[in-house]
Structure 1
Amino acid sequence: MALELRVWGSAFGLDSIDPECLAAVACFRSCIPRQDWTLIASNDAAVSSEYRLPALSHKGNWVSGYSDIISYLTKHGILHIDDDLTPPQRADTLACASLLATRGSGLLAMSLYVSPRAWVEMTRPAYSSLLPFPLTWTVPPAVRAAAVEKAEHLGIGYLAAEVDAEESSSAGLVETTSTGFLRLRERLGPRKTMQPEHTAAIRFQHFAEDFYSVLDDFRGHKTFFLRDDKPSSIDFLAYGYLQLMRVQTPHPILKNALEKSYSRLVVFVTELRSYGDNEELPWREPKARGALGLIGRFAEGSIEAIPGVGGSWRKWHKGGVDTRDTYDVRDPTQLIIAVGGAVTSVVALGAVALFRALPPFGASAHRFEAAREDRAGLRQFGEIGSILDGLPI
C-alpha cells in the first residue's frame, strides 16, 4: 500500500508538536494495519505543494491536512471509520472540526506560542530540536507569527507584544505577568480597578471553559463523540487538540481548566489513546537534507520575513496560478525580487557560518610573535648563538 505519513516530530512527551499531526498518527495507529504505513518526522512542510503537515504520500499523490487525508483514504477504500455516518452525524463532524480549527487552535496558540515564557522555555526549544541549522532561525518565528494570527480572533491577541518576546526577555525590556503573558502598558480591561493582564487571564480561562463545555456537551455520555461502538475521524481530531492542551506549561490555564472541570474529556483522551493497535509506531528516518536544500529553505524563510516582499514571494512561490482567478499569474517582477532576496540570504548564510567559526566575544586571544631579546638573547647558546644574534632581522 506504501502509505507514507509525514508529520512534525515529537515534543512535550507526545508523538508530535502539532494537533493535526497528533490526530493523523492516532488515526493511523488505530485504524490502519502497521505493515501498511510508515511514519516520518520530516519537519518540513515543503514536502507537500500546500506547505502543510501532516502530509500523506501514496502512489505519487500528495495530500495535506488531517481532513483531506481522511477524505482521500476514504475515497480510495483504505479507511472506513466514517462510511456509516448519517447525514446529521456528518454535519456534526463538520461543525466540531470547525470549532477545533478556530477556537481550539486559537487557545493552543495563546498557551504555547503567544505566552513569552512558554515560547522561550518550551515551544521554541522544541522546534529547535526538530530542525537543523540554519532553519532554526527562520521556521520557528514564522510558525509563531501564524499562531499569533490564530489567537487574534479570540479578542486577546493583543497580549502578543509588537517586539520580539525572546529578545526583549533577554534584554530585560518586557515584563511578564503571573499568568505568563506580557504585561500591558495600558489598562484595556473593562474595570479600572483590575489590572489588564489579570482581566486577560480571566478572559482566556473563560474562553477555555466555554470551548471545553461545547465539546463536553457535544459528546454527552457516549463513549465517543458520535457513537458508542467505535471512534470516527472527529474523535481523533479532538484527541489531537486535547492532548496538547494537557501539556504542562509554565502557566497551565488550559490544562487546569480541563482536568479540574471536565473529567469526562480527560477520560475520553485516555481511552482513545489505548484504542486499537498499541504497538510501537512505524517510524522511519527522513532522507538527509543536502546543503543546497538547507540553503534553499533558509532563503525561502528569509524572503518571507522581509516586509513588503514576503507576501509577494509567498504568493508567487506557494500559490502559483490560481484557476479560480485567471488573471492571477506569476509576476516576473516578483520572481526577480525573490531571486535577489535568495542571493542575499545565501550571502548572509555564509556570513553566519563565518561568524560561528570565530571565537566567542570576550574569549582570550593568543598572539604569536618572535620573542624579544631578554637576558642574554641568543648568546646563551655559545659562539654560534653570538654570531646569529648579531645578524640583522
Structure 2
Amino acid sequence: MKLHILGPAFGLPSIDAECIAAVALVERYTQGSGQAWALVASHEAAADTRLPCLQVGDKTYSGFDRIAQHLIDEAGGAVPGLATDLTAQQQADATALMTFIKSEGQLLLDISLYVSFENYRNRTRSAFTKILPWYANFVVPPQRRNQARQRTQHLGVSSLDVDDFHEDVIDKPSSMQSEQQKKPFEHETEKHARRLLGRRDTVRTLLQQPEHAAAFRLNALADNLFEPLQDLLKNQSNLLGTDQPAIVDCLAFGYLSLMFYPKMPQNWLASTMRLRYQKLVYYLGSLRDTLRVDAHPDEALSAVSQSEKGAADLPWVSPQSFSPIAVLGYIGQCLFHQLPLPKSDAGLVHLPIRRPRSLVQRYFPALLGLTSTSLALLAFWSYKNLAWPHGEAVHFFGRRRLVDYGDAGATLSALGSLGLQMQQQQQQS
C-alpha cells in the first residue's frame, strides 16, 4: 500500500491540507491493523486522479474521501485506531463538518499560502523548490497560485496580492486602466499629501484604506471557520465527542495545521487562532501528539539513508524517477496548456503514477514484434513461391529492353533467347 502526496513542508508531511489528512488517516489505520505501507513524495497523478492518491495493488483511490471510504470498507466498518462506531446523528454531523472545513478552510489557505504575495514569495515558493524536481517547479506553484486567485476573487482581498497589482495595473497603459484600478495610485498620492501637510488619518479614512479593509475581511473569514469549531470543542476533546479521533478530526488537522504551524511574514491566521481561539490551539496540539505525523523535507528527499539510520517516523520511500522522454512529454503538455484553448481538468498537467503491469502488458511488445516479423516473412515467401509466374516472360512496364541499346543490346538479347531455347530442348528430351 503506497500513499502518493505532495512533499513535506513547514515541519508537516505535506504542503497540501488533504494530503496531510490522508497521511494522518493511513498512519492511524496502519497502527491499529499492523499493515505495512509506504509514503511517496510526488507531484504526479494520472489523468483521472488527483493527490492524495492511495495505491493498493492495481487499484488507486484518489482524494481524501475515497481513501477514507476504502479503509472503512477494508476494515469492515471499524477502522482500527479511529472512532468509526458513530451514531446516525454523529455521521450526519461528520458529513456536514467535512464539507464545512473543506469550503471555508480552503479559502483561508488560498489567501495565506498563495494570494498573499509576501507569504508566497518568501515561504510557499521556497518550500515547493525543496520538494519538486526542477521541471515541475516552473509548473506546479504557478498553477496552484492561479487556482487560488480564481477561488478567492470574489472575497475582495486583492490588495494582499502585490504581484497581481503590478501585473494588472503597472504594465497596462493609463488609457486601459479602470477607475477601480486607479484608486491605489490615488490612495498613495493622498497619503503622501497628508504626510507633507501634517494631517492625521481618522478612523474613517483608516477603514477606507485597502490594506485595513482587507484585514477586516480576513478576520471575518477566519471567524467563520474558527468560531464554530471552537464551539464544538467546549466540553469535548474531539469534534464529535468521541474518545479517539475520527476521520473528520484527521481532516481538521490537515487544514488547521497548515494555518497555525507555518511561520509566515503575514501571520494573521496563526495570530488570530493564538489570541482568540485558545481551545482550538489546544485541540490542534493534542491531535499532533496523538497522530504523530511530523515530518521534514530531508526525510522524503533522502528516504533511503533515513530508513537505514532509523530516524524517519513516517515510512518514506524514494520518489519515483521518470525517463527523459516522460519529462519532455510533461513539459510539452505544460506548454500546450498555456495556449489560449478550452482546457479540461482545471488546466492541470500530470505525469502518470506507475502501477504494476500485468502479464499481457509486460509481454505485449515482444508478442507484437514477433507477430509482425512472422507476417513479413510469410508475405515474402508467398511472393517468391506463389505469385512469381514461372516459365513465362516477365515484363516490367516502363523500362527499356535490351534491343533498345543498339547492336550490343541486340547481341545480348539474341544470346539470351538462344540460351532459353536450349534449356527448353533439354527439358523436352
**Please, what TM-score do these two structures have when normalized by structure 1?**
0.69
Summarize the Cα distance change of 1:316–1:207 in structure 2 as closer, same or farther, 3 Å threshold: closer
In structure 2, how many angstroms separate the alpha carbons of the residues matched to 1:104 and 1:133? 30
Equivalent residue number for residue 227 of structure 2: 213
Correspondence 1:304 to 2:337: yes
In structure 1, how many angstroms separate the alpha carbons of the residues matched to 2:259 and 2:113? 9
Q: CA RMSD in A?
A: 3.1
Equivalent residue number for residue 117 of structure 2: 116
In structure 1, how many angstroms separate the alpha carbons of the residues matched to 2:86 and 2:345? 42
In structure 2, how many angstroms separate the alpha carbons of the residues matched to 1:298 and 1:23? 30
Summarize the Cα distance change of 1:317–1:110 in structure 2 as closer, same or farther, 3 Å threshold: closer
Contact preservation (8 Å) 2:21, 2:253: yes
User: Which ranges of structure 1 fall in alignment gaps of 5 or more residues?
Assistant: 172-182, 319-393
Equivalent residue number for residue 272 of structure 2: 257
Summarize the Cα distance change of 1:92–1:165 in structure 2 as closer, same or farther, 3 Å threshold: same
CA displacement 1:252-307 (0-9 Å, x = unmatched): 00000001111111111111112156781011112212212222222222222322
Equivalent residue number for residue 242 of structure 1: 256
In structure 1, how many angstroms separate the alpha carbons of the residues matched to 2:105 and 2:250? 14
Contact preservation (8 Å) 1:148, 1:160: no
Equivalent residue number for residue 107 of structure 1: 108
Summarize the Cα distance change of 1:240–1:317 in structure 2 as closer, same or farther, 3 Å threshold: closer
CA displacement 1:359-387 (0-9 Å, x = unmatched): xxxxxxxxxxxxxxxxxxxxxxxxxxxxx
Contact preservation (8 Å) 1:138, 1:302: no
SS of alignment partner, residue 316 of structure 2: coil
Correspondence 1:267 to 2:282: yes
Contact preservation (8 Å) 1:53, 1:65: yes
SS of alignment partner, residue 290 of structure 2: coil
SS of alignment partner, residue 253 of structure 2: helix
State how many pairs are aligned.
Answer: 299
Summarize the Cα distance change of 1:166–1:90 in structure 2 as closer, same or farther, 3 Å threshold: farther
Equivalent residue number for residue 376 of structure 2: none
Contact preservation (8 Å) 2:19, 2:254: yes
Equivalent residue number for residue 200 of structure 1: 214
In structure 2, how many angstroms separate the alpha carbons of the residues matched to 1:76 and 1:248? 38
SS of alignment partner, residue 207 of structure 1: helix
CA displacement 1:138-187 (0-9 Å, x = unmatched): 2211111112223235x22534759657989xx9xxxxxxxxxxx94578
Q: Within 5 A, what are the aligned runs for 1:206-355?
A: 206-246=220-260, 247-275=262-290, 280-307=313-340, 309=341, 311=343
Following TM superposition, by how much is the alpha carbon of 1:218 offset from its aligned partner in structure 2, in angstroms? 2.5
Q: Within 5 A, what are the aligned runs for 1:30-45?
A: 30-33=28-31, 35-44=35-44
Equivalent residue number for residue 332 of structure 1: none
CA displacement 1:321-342 (0-9 Å, x = unmatched): xxxxxxxxxxxxxxxxxxxxxx
Contact preservation (8 Å) 2:117, 2:162: no
Summarize the Cα distance change of 1:105–1:276 in structure 2 as closer, same or farther, 3 Å threshold: closer
Identity of aligned residues (%): 32
Q: What letter corresponds to residue 67 of structure 2 in structure 1?
A: I
In structure 2, how many angstroms separate the alpha carbons of the residues matched to 1:131 and 1:165? 28
In structure 1, how many angstroms separate the alpha carbons of the residues matched to 2:102 and 2:87? 22
SS of alignment partner, residue 56 of structure 1: strand
Summarize the Cα distance change of 1:74–1:118 in structure 2 as closer, same or farther, 3 Å threshold: same
Contact preservation (8 Å) 1:43, 1:131: yes
In structure 1, how many angstroms separate the alpha carbons of the residues matched to 2:42 and 2:348? 24
Summarize the Cα distance change of 1:310–1:227 in structure 2 as closer, same or farther, 3 Å threshold: same
Residue 56 of structure 2 is aligned with which of 58, 73, 77? 58
Contact preservation (8 Å) 1:4, 1:39: yes
Summarize the Cα distance change of 1:29–1:315 in structure 2 as closer, same or farther, 3 Å threshold: closer
User: Which ranges of structure 2 fall in alignment gaps of 5 or more residues?
Assistant: 172-182, 188-202, 294-311, 351-429
SS of alignment partner, residue 38 of structure 2: strand
CA displacement 1:201-252 (0-9 Å, x = unmatched): 1211121123100111123321111124111100010001110001221010
Higher helix share: 2
Equivalent residue number for residue 414 of structure 2: none
Summarize the Cα distance change of 1:238–1:277 in structure 2 as closer, same or farther, 3 Å threshold: closer
In structure 1, how many angstroms separate the alpha carbons of the residues matched to 2:186 and 2:74? 56
**Please, what TM-score do these two structures have when normalized by structure 2?**
0.63
Q: What letter corresponds to residue 236 of structure 2 in structure 1?
A: K
In structure 2, how many angstroms separate the alpha carbons of the residues matched to 1:198 and 1:164? 18
Summarize the Cα distance change of 1:105–1:312 in structure 2 as closer, same or farther, 3 Å threshold: closer
In structure 1, how many angstroms separate the alpha carbons of the residues matched to 2:278 and 2:349? 46
Report which of the two structures shows the higher radius of gyration computed on alpha carbons.
Answer: 2
